[in-house]
Structure 1
Amino acid sequence: MPQSGPQWVDRALAILDEVASSPGPLAAKALARRVGCSLSTAYHLLGPLAERGYVTRTARGYVPGPRIPALHREFRRQWEPAAGTAELLGRLRRATGGEAYHTAYRGGVITVVDTTAPVTDTANPFAPGRETRAHATAHGKALLAALPRTARRRYLDEHGMARLTAATITSAELLEAELARVRGQGFAVSVGEADPAFTCLALTLPGPQEAGAVHALSVSLPTEEYRRRPQAARLALERAAAGSL
């Protein structure tokens, strides 16, 4: 018997998550097994998802549907702090040679909204989506430093401070000291704290914004490359944030 109500919605979303994160097409039987439902329930849920364009059925199984790119486009538009943010990321990438990112805090959530990194670059550790490693990333530290202490503590209590590398800050006291430095110098740096191979720089974007929302601009470079020209990368980031790049 097909599920209804909240469980129905939860399983439909679970199916969508499985299809989106799979390296290839997934058969209905595999989806039913992964989300813990019967095959008939899986088909019952896949029908409206396919009809609305969220998934597409192929000879090998289900893949993301044509509605997904439109959702991403609208997501970026509604989170964009100002017109032209995507173009700004492109200019920052050309100026630094590293990948550029727009990240935002909104409604208690930190999200990597947009990036110049190709979607096929699975080695890039800062893909678009929900960010749970704010304590270890430059964009996360820039955003946390700009938040009221209660909002910052709420975020960290929810997501924790996992040790990702030997350089990750996992002490609340040490992180508060680091965030005080960020506020004092006006930018954040993460040298191998989220991924040992990358160094990131970030700063918050100025100007009027939605109440409770904070936006950050950041760039990531291989650590060895960053060490050869740290000042140039920071200058380009500051110019981009000021709109003069």
Structure 2
Amino acid sequence: MSPLAPMSQVESDRSPDGPGYGVRAIERVCAVLNLLQESIDGVTLKEVADAAELPKSSAFRYLWTLEQHRYVERDAGSGLFRIGLGFLGMQSHHLEVLRERVRPSLERLRDALDETTSLGLLDGHHVIYLDIIESRRSVRLAAERGSHDPLHSTALGKAIAAHLPVERVRELLEQAGMPRRTVDTIADVDDYLAELAKVRRLGYAVDNRENEPDGRCVAVPILGTRLPAAISVSAPEARFSMRDVEMAGRTLIEVATRITLTPLAQDDPPTA
């Protein structure tokens, strides 16, 4: 026994049901994560507190700490907690289901608009491209599947951030910074938050030469899912006018709504 730890402390760190080596705090974390993993729609703070046998205030501190490390996510609308992207292996099935659900829509959009379409997801303080359907044109705007782009300079990032709590957006921007990718990149937090208010008002986000000097992109969030995701259309600005962007934004809203409402087995997204 360590001379630095009183007997009461040592006993409190042991599981009453185990061989005497279980750390109670770790057991409580495991109880919380097991509860979250088994839930489809997320769990309440009370459910977490009951599972971990903790007061609500203590349970919230556990969840807050796990959220900072991306092992837990909190839905801003419902207040429910769910497994975060820190457990990418646990999320792999959900990510694949989302990709399968969205891909037919991306393909039809690409065929209808003849421009690159993408599915993006919040991954830490960046956006990761889960799927990309490239334009068949020789000159096109496209990232690579699995690559990352900033939250502040992309339409995908704006579409996702517009539906996160403001405090969370500030944290993400502080972690990643707001480097200027082009002369048009928004590099001020307050300006960015004002841009997000515009996104919520319009229903779609625009990257107007902010991530690439000769590119434009429009994106909308996929709401009603358990993942912070968005879909987009991108093209060189020379053939993607702001009028085209507006039309594409309206089409993306319709497609995203259909993706959310239609069961996977019957998914048949509309032609743009």
The reply to whether TM is greater than 0.5 is: yes
> Counterparts of 2:112 and 2:154 in 1: how far apart (Å)?
21
- Tell me the matched-pair count: 167
The residue type equivalent to 2:132 in the other structure is: T
- Give 1:156-195 correspondences, 5 Å limit: 156-195=173-212
Q: Is the 8 A contact 1:108 1:151 kept in 2?
A: no
The 1-side partners of 2:147 and 2:177 are apart by 14
Which residue number in structure 1 is paired with residue 240 of structure 2?
226
The percentage of aligned residue pairs carrying the same residue is 29
Residue matched to 2:216: 199
- Decide whether aligned partners of structure 1 residues 184 and 235 sit closer, same or farther in structure 2, where only a CA change above 3 A counts: closer
> How much does 1:104 deviate?
1.2
Cα distance in 2 for partners of 1:148, 1:130 equals: 25
Query: CA 1:123–1:235 in 2, change beyond 3 Å: closer, same or farther?
Result: closer
Is the partner of 1:177 in helix, strand or coil? helix
User: Does the Cα contact within 8 Å between 1:96 and 1:232 map onto a contact in 2?
Assistant: no
Cα deviation, residue 233, structure 1: 2.0
Q: Specify the SS of the correspondent of 2:143.
A: coil
**Match of residue 172 from structure 2:** 155
- Deviation per CA, 1:89-130: give whole Å up to 9, x if none: 101111211100111125665311110128xx9974532235
Contact 1:125/1:195 (8 A) holds in 2: no
Q: Which amino acid aligns with 1:165?
A: T
Query: How is 1:97-136 mapped onto 2 (pairs within 5 angstroms)?
Result: 97-105=114-122, 110-117=127-134, 124=141, 126-136=143-153
Paired with 1:148 and 1:238, the residues of 2 have a C-alpha distance of: 21
String of CA shifts for 1:53-99, please: whole Å, max 9, x gaps. Answer: xxxxxxxxxxxxxxxxxxxxx95863543743111110111121110
- Aligned in 2, Cα 1:93/1:231: closer, same or farther, shift over 3 Å? same
Match of 2:155 in 1: 138
Residues 111 and 99 of structure 1: is their aligned pair in 2 closer, same or farther, counting only changes over 3 Å?
A: same
Contact 1:226 1:233 in 2 (8 A): no
The TM-score, its normalising length taken from structure 2, stands at: 0.55
Tell me what 1:22 maps to.
none
CA drift of 1:157 comes to: 1.4
Q: Contact conserved, 2:116 with 2:234, CA < 8 A, in 1?
A: yes
Residue type of the alignment partner of 1:158 = Q
CA distance in 2, matches of 1:187, 1:135: 15
State the distance in 2 between where 1:237 and 1:91 align: 11
CA distance in 2, matches of 1:140, 1:181: 14
Corresponding letter in the other structure for 1:188? A
- Once residues 104 and 231 of structure 2 are traced to their aligned partners in structure 1, the CA distance between those partners, rounded to angstroms, is 12
Taking structure 1 as reference, are residues 123 and 76 closer, same or farther at Cα in structure 2, changes over 3 Å only?
farther
- The gaps in structure 1 that reach 5 residues or longer are 1-73
Q: How far apart in 1 are the matches of 2:134 and 2:157? A: 18
Quote the Cα distance in structure 2 between the aligned partners of 1:150 and 1:128: 29
Distance 1:87 1:125, change over 3 A: closer
Q: How big is the shift at 1:215?
A: 1.1
> Taking CA–CA contacts closer than 8 Å with sequence separation of 6 or more, which of the two structures ends up with the larger relative contact order?
1
What is the aligned counterpart of 1:238 among 248, 253, 264?
A: 253
Structure 1 vs Structure 2 CA RMSD: 2.7
Letter in 2 for 1:154: E
Could you tell me how far apart the structure 1 residues matched to 2:119 and 2:248 are?
16
* Residue 216 of structure 1, CA deviation: 0.4
Distance 1:167 1:108, change over 3 A: closer
